Structure 1
Amino acid sequence: MEIGQRIRNARKARGLTLEALANQVDTDTGNLSRLERGKQGASQELLTKIFNVLQLEVSHIRPKAEYAGGAYELDNIEVVSRVENRPRKGYPLISWVTAGEWAESPDNFQPGDAEDWIGSTENAGSAGFWLKVRGDSMTCAGNPSFPAESLILVRPEADVISGKYYVVEMLDSGEKTFKQYVEDAGLKYLRPLNPSYRTIEIDGNCRFIGRVIDTKMTGL
């Protein structure tokens, strides 16, 4: 993955806007945007500031002779991520308690922190992870249905789209839940598939940890 994309992914995972990150590293949003899109290089000083803020580790940076003023080309920067060293058999199965922290800072975790590693044909990104469904609020007679103990694959940093399924953290309680996101008549909801449970109206009081893009049944 290009360094600019790595920076963008890490910034979004930490909930930082371009402006917020630019303010922290003493640059402007235009320079940062071009850097993320691979349209320009950056000085070693600026890159060091960005890596420190985003908690990315740099193994080495090699200067290009044709760059003046100590600038460096993006493709000459190697970023080390512990997540990339994970076993190549899939994505980690983690606990609900860990889910938010893993989505925000996957580099802070080691492969052994996962309960298991499970494969998927879907691309959940470098920070993707599996969760085990709790309870029956997402169980229904139709399709899809997500019974208790089934597995769901979560892709952090995914766009929020009405009708899709997400793992969400409620900011007031810190509780994490798995629901369908619905927009209707200007209002936003988290909807369970089981009609026995109530639909939750939301208005900036939650954080979307990631979108569910795959599921597996267990115990069959």
Structure 2
Amino acid sequence: MDIGQIIRKARKAKGWTLEELAHRVETDSGNLSRLERGLQGASKELLGRVLKALDLSLASAGRIDEGSNITPALQPTRKHKEYPLISWVQAGDLTESPSNVGSEHKWFESTENAGDGGYWLKVQGDSMTCLGNPSFPAGSLILVRPEADVINGKYYVVEMLDSGEKTFKQYVEDAGFKYLRPLNPGYRTIEINGNCRVLGRVIDTKMTGL
């Protein structure tokens, strides 16, 4: 498998579009598209940013010359890290480092990087349950990365400023309007206009007690 295919596979495993990866590594999506298809090489600097974003690294024996199309040996460097399971009341208000969270909290692993302030929440209710994929049934865990970019189509934990209610929904932009959309069609979509605070992006999920 050449480097373009490895990058494409790793990007899709994270659920990222070319545009999102391009934004993260500060380049044009067209450059990444050509790189994934093997139509052009990449500078060492750009390739380094791409590999870092995708949690990949060059094997020690791999060597890339500037602008070359040499295929290096790659190896995954995904590491498991534990994050605390906190209550919805604490979400967004946890000021301590997770390493200082009390012993009353349970900790669960993830290969996703939620940052130093990342945490798990337990899904309540069935508003994010559907027949498709993804689906987040009640009782499942979601991993939240605070201070994440707000991206159309991704999933977020949000606090409604008028009521103080904290909710988990899909963020959607359509025709200049912004919405919080439940996956369950039995619940209403909420239009937002600065009346909420994004607490973090959901980047992983798992079921417990199976």
> TM-score normalised by the shorter chain: which range applies?
0.5 to 0.7
Letter in structure 1 aligned against 2:89: V
In structure 1, the residue matched to 2:89 is: 97
User: Identity across aligned pairs (percent)?
Assistant: 77
**TM-aligned CA deviation for residue 114 of structure 1:** 5.2
What is the TM-score when the length of structure 2 is the normalising length?
A: 0.60
In structure 2, the residue matched to 1:140 is: 130
**TM-aligned CA deviation for residue 109 of structure 1:** 8.1
**Count of residue pairs brought into register by the alignment:** 131
Letter in structure 2 aligned against 1:210: G
Q: Are 1:185 and 2:170 an aligned pair? A: no
**TM-aligned CA deviation for residue 182 of structure 1:** 0.1
CA distance in 2, matches of 1:114, 1:164: 31
Alignment of 1:121-200 (within 5 A): 121-200=111-190
Alignment of 1:1-220 (within 5 A): 90-102=82-94, 105-107=95-97, 110-112=100-102, 115-220=105-210
**Is the Cα–Cα contact under 8 Å of residues 124 and 153 in structure 1 kept in the other structure?**
yes
CA distance in 2, matches of 1:197, 1:116: 31
CA distance in 1, matches of 2:91, 2:117: 10
Distance 1:184 1:205, change over 3 A: same
**Is the Cα–Cα contact under 8 Å of residues 98 and 116 in structure 2 kept in the other structure?**
no
Q: Which runs of 5+ in 1 are unaligned?
A: 1-87
CA distance in 2, matches of 1:200, 1:109: 35
Aligned partner of residue 171 in structure 2, secondary structure: strand
Letter in structure 1 aligned against 2:207: M
More helix by percentage: 1
**TM-aligned CA deviation for residue 100 of structure 1:** 1.4
**Is the Cα–Cα contact under 8 Å of residues 154 and 211 in structure 1 kept in the other structure?**
yes
**Is the Cα–Cα contact under 8 Å of residues 89 and 117 in structure 1 kept in the other structure?**
no
